[in-house]
Amino acid sequence: MRLVTAQGGVSFLRSDLIAFPHGFATRLGGVSTLPHTASLNLAFGRGDEDAAVLANLARFTEAVGVSGEVISLPQVHSTDVRTVGEADRGLGYQRKADSACDGYVTAAPDVTIGVKTADCVPILLADEEAGIVGALHAGWRGTVAGIAREGIARMIALGADPARIKAAIGPSIGLCCYAVGEDFCRAVAESPCAALCLSHIHREGDQPHADLPAMNTAILLSAGLSAEHIDTAHLCTCCRTDLFYSHRASRGVRGTMLSIIARPKGD
C-alpha cells in the first residue's frame, strides 16, 4: 500500500496489487476547516456544510480518477452486499433514509462504489480479468458476521474467480488500540465466523484486544483468496490521527473517510 498525493493535495492510499482506479482516503487535502473535520471529511452530518463535503468528494474522486457519482448508502453494520449496475448510477451518496447497505459489487464500467469508515475496516476487491470490483464496510459486527465472505460470494455470482480476486484492506483501528470487553468476546464466539476470528482476539495484558484486519484476512483466505493477493495497509487510524479520522480517538467527534473503486471505462 502506498500513500499517493495528487495535485491539489488530496492524499490517499492505493494498493500496488490493483490496477483499476481505487483509493482509501486520508483526512488530508480537503476544504473542511473545523478542527475535527479538517480537512477531507467525506460524510454529511459531521458538522461541515454540505457544500464542503461535496467539494471534498469531487476532489477525492478526481484524484483517484473515477466518476464523481459515488454509490454509498447509509451503513448499518450488516452483511448486506448489493450488486449494482449501470442503472444504479446516482443511486445515492449517504443520504437515502429508506435504504442502507454495507457493501457493493459491480461488473459495470465507470460505476464508482464506496464505503465510509473512521476505525472500521474498508475492503476493496477486484477480479480485473473478469472486470468485477467490490467495496465492503467491515466494522466488528460486519466482520464477525462475515461481510467479507458475502462480498466474495457476490463477486463469484457475477463471474469472478476467487483465485484471481485481489483484496486491499485499508486503514482501520489496529490491534494496538482496539481494546474490547468480554461482551465483545462473547459475541465473536457466537458469531458465524467464530472459528476464523476468535484467534485474533489477543489476551495478553489487562484487557483483550481485537485485530479486525487479521479477522478479515482469515475470512478472505477461507473464501478462496490467496495470501499474496491480500494487501493490508497496516496503519492504525487511532494511532495516526495526523492522517486519519478515528471514532475512538476522537470519542465520536470526527470526520469520515471514504474508500472507492471502479472498473474503468472501456475495460
Closest CB to Zn ion among residues 176, 194 = 176
Number of residues that bind Zn ion (CB under 5 A): 6
Subset of residues 73 to 102 that bind Zn ion, contact rule: CB under 5 A: none
Closest CB to Zn ion among residues 24, 93 = 24
Closest CB to Zn ion among residues 177, 198 = 177
Closest CB to Zn ion among residues 77, 248 = 248
Site for Zn ion contains 238 (CB under 5 A): yes
Closest CB to Zn ion among residues 126, 212 = 212
Pairing relation of β-strands 230-232 and 166-169? parallel
Cell representation of residue 107: 461488473
Helix ranges (H only) for the chain are 50-64, 140-145, 147-158, 182-189, 194-197, 212-222
Site for Zn ion contains 176 (CB under 5 A): yes
Closest CB to Zn ion among residues 153, 177 = 177
Q: Phi first, then psi: what are they for 221, rounded to 5°? A: -65, -40
Q: Provide the sign of the torsion angle of the four alpha carbons 233, 212, 124, 162, taken in this order.
A: positive
Residue 122's Cβ-count burial label (10 Å; 0-12, 13-18, 19+) is buried
Site for Zn ion contains 174 (CB under 5 A): yes
Site for Zn ion contains 139 (CB under 5 A): no
At closest approach, how far in Å is the CB of 209 from Zn ion? Answer: 10
| Per-residue contact flags (x/-) with Zn ion for residues 179 to 218, judged by CB under 5 A | ----------------------------------------
Q: Is 91 left (phi over 0), alpha (psi -120 to 50) or beta?
A: alpha
Q: Provide the sign of the torsion angle of the four alpha carbons 129, 132, 133, 139, taken in this order.
A: negative
Residue 227's Cβ-count burial label (10 Å; 0-12, 13-18, 19+) is exposed
In this structure, are residues 120 and 256 in contact, taking their beta carbons and an 8 Å threshold? no
Which listed range, 36-44, 121-129, 186-194, 239-247, lies at the site for Zn ion (CB under 5 A)? Answer: 239-247
Site for Zn ion contains 233 (CB under 5 A): no
Which listed range, 19-27, 108-116, 177-185, 210-218, lies at the site for Zn ion (CB under 5 A)? Answer: 177-185
Judged by the rule CB under 5 A, the positions of this chain that interact with Zn ion are 174, 176-177, 236, 238-239
